[in-house]
Structure 1
Amino acid sequence: MRVFLSLGGNLGNTQEIFEQSYPAIEKKVGKILQKSSLYRTAAWGLKDQADFINQVMLLESALNPHEILTEIQAIEKQFGRERLVTWGPRTLDLDILFIENLKIQNEKLQIPHPHIHNRKFILIPMHEIAKEFEHPELKKTISELMLEATDDFSVNLIPNP
């Protein structure tokens, strides 16, 4: 199955944490097919904290959605993630954005991720690798969603070193 994951973080050396997480993601979740560039964004939700670095990747996974969730939560924990405050600072945040065109709504899992269309820090990196992907519920491409997004946070490309 094709899976879009978002990576985010604002504690520690986020770029280094992302680099170190890629092998764990490939080992536990699936082969990374594409990765967007890295982007810096002001904190969303709980605003009084350091800027976040965000990225979106496309994976090929043989796991089912609940197994993917279990594995990404284990990877977050491996990299020091503590769930203390909603939208609070974190070393590594991994979110499932889409799994193919699946729609899942239960206590543990919401696919597609419910806030994608309002978050440019997701839409911009996703647009870089999959602008024509169609949101299975909204029936709009990532390009269309980007044009309609009301989020006014700046999302800045981090140049490659």
Structure 2
Amino acid sequence: MSYNTVILLLGSNINNPEKNIETALLELEAKVGLILSKSKLILTKPVEFDSSNIFCNIAVKIKTQFSPFKLLSEIKAIERKMGRTKDSSYFQVYQDRIIDIDIIIFNNLKFISGKLLIPHEKNLYHRDFAREIINNVK
């Protein structure tokens, strides 16, 4: 059986963000794979949009059997289950969100499609808060 090592970044800034992160982590472990390590939770201001709601963020390293597209499908299902019915790509602008789960690194894969970019360029290279917590789980 082959496993993939993946780094995910989770964020939430409405409806009890810390609890949302906790719920998402439980869902990930139940549906996606074993969490190998976690960064500390950090609080950050919204990036690329204005909101008075502060984000709670965490990075996790997981072990999964899923392919990148199957993993994306499962992550989107978790987001929908938690109440996020449409993501930023639908609105063409960032907004407050109950949960956001991004695939940052998938093994050493470099992959580009209309729905998925690995590695996740913005979070890995352009957002200081993300780079900081991602480096804590590598």
TM > 0.5 fold call: yes
The alpha carbon displacement at 1:35 in A equals 0.8
Structure 2 unaligned spans of 5+: none
The equivalent residue for 1:153 is none
SS in 1 for 2:78: helix
Does residue 24 (structure 1) correspond to residue 27 (structure 2)? The answer is yes
1:50 to 50, 53, 77: 53
Name the structure 2 match of 1:99.
Answer: 106
Give the match for residue 129 of structure 2: 121
RMSD: 1.2
Structural mapping, 1:1-16, within 5 Å: 1-16=4-19
Q: Deviations over 1:109-157 (max 9, x none)?
A: 1100121201112111112222xxxxxxxxxxxxxxxxxxxxxxxxxxx
Aligned residue for 2:116? Answer: 109
Note if contact 2:9-2:58 (Cα within 8 Å) is conserved in structure 1: yes
Aligned residues: 130
1:39 aligns with 2:46: no
- Identity, % of aligned positions: 32
Retained in 1: the 8 A contact 2:37–2:61? yes
Give, in angstroms, the shift of residue 87 of structure 1: 1.4
1:74 corresponds in structure 2 to: 77
**Aligned-pair CA distance for 1:48:** 3.0
Structure 1 counterpart of 2:16, which letter?
N
Structure 1 moving runs of 4+ over 6 Å: none
Q: Please state how far the C-alpha of 1:24 moved relative to its aligned partner.
A: 1.1
Could you tell me which runs of 5 or more consecutive residues in structure 1 were left unpaired when the two chains were aligned. 131-161
Q: Which has the higher contact order (CA 8 A, sep 6+)?
A: 2
Q: Answer yes or no: is the 8 Å Cα contact 1:49–1:89 preserved in 2.
A: no
Which amino acid counterpart does residue 127 of structure 1 have in structure 2? N
Structure 2 partner of 1:150: none
